[in-house]
Chains A and B, each alone.
Chain A
Amino acid sequence: EDQVTQSPEALRLQEGESSSLNCSYTVSGLRGLFWYRQDPGKGPEFLFTLYSAGEEKEKERLKATLTKKESFLHITAPKPEDSATYLCAVQPGGGSQGNLIFGKGTKLSVKP
């Protein structure tokens, strides 16, 4: 069964304290792995897509990496505005019609 597990469920950081969020997955034929940011009361906002092991992508203080079994979202010197829930999703191969399978998310709080 295709599955996505995110850890930790919640993470509290001080401003400037770097850390990483984990997304482990089991899927038949990974077509892509996606990271989203979700602010309270809003829909998820697309951050990155990773397609193959070893791939890395960066955006401001965020850097996403991918291995064959997991992905990490590294946050360097976070600011309070980085506080949000970060969602990971995988897109299985085969006849999935592009449907994404989401993890439950990591709620990040960054204190000034």
Chain B
Amino acid sequence: NAGVTQTPKFRVLKTGQSMTLLCAQDMNHEYMYWYRQDPGMGLRLIHYSVGEGTTAKGEVPDGYNVSRLKKQNFLLGLESAAPSQTSVYFCASSYAGAGAYYGYTFGSGTRLTVV
């Protein structure tokens, strides 16, 4: 049982380049999330999805796009990378049911540097 898998683990981009971060989960979770973690800022929600084919904006969505074409996958795209997007990106998933939500399962993160 792999849980939540993120690829790649590390990446260096030049300003203006684009890339896609992949998140895959094998727990049949309905909900998936993308967070960024910066020193002194904590985890901040970028985008999330409550099911296949749905996406919604979180706290800091600007400069990012997402897609959830399959239930198990949640993609995060950077169309034109900026140095301000240098961060560690975490994907998470959760099961929601019976009117209560459960804790997230996190991936191991992608460390992105934009130069």
Residues of A within 8 A of B (CB): 31-32, 34, 36, 41-46, 49, 51, 87, 89, 91, 97-100, 102-105
Contact = CB atoms under 8 A, between A and B. Distances in A.
Contacts of A99: 33, 45, 48, 58
Nearest to B3: A43
Contact of B48 (A34, A91, A97): A97
Contacts of A44: 43, 90, 104, 106
B2 interface: no
Interface string B41-79: 111110010100000101000000000000000000000
Interface of B: 4, 31, 33, 40-45, 48, 50, 56, 58, 90, 92, 94, 96, 100-109
Given A44-B104, A98-B101, A100-B104, 13 more contacts: A31-B100, A34-B104, A36-B106, A41-B108, A42-B109, A43-B90, A46-B104, A49-B103, A98-B31, A99-B48, A100-B45, A104-B41, A104-B42
Nearest to A6: B42
A42 B90 CA distance: 9
Contacts of B45: 99-100
Contacts of B56: 97
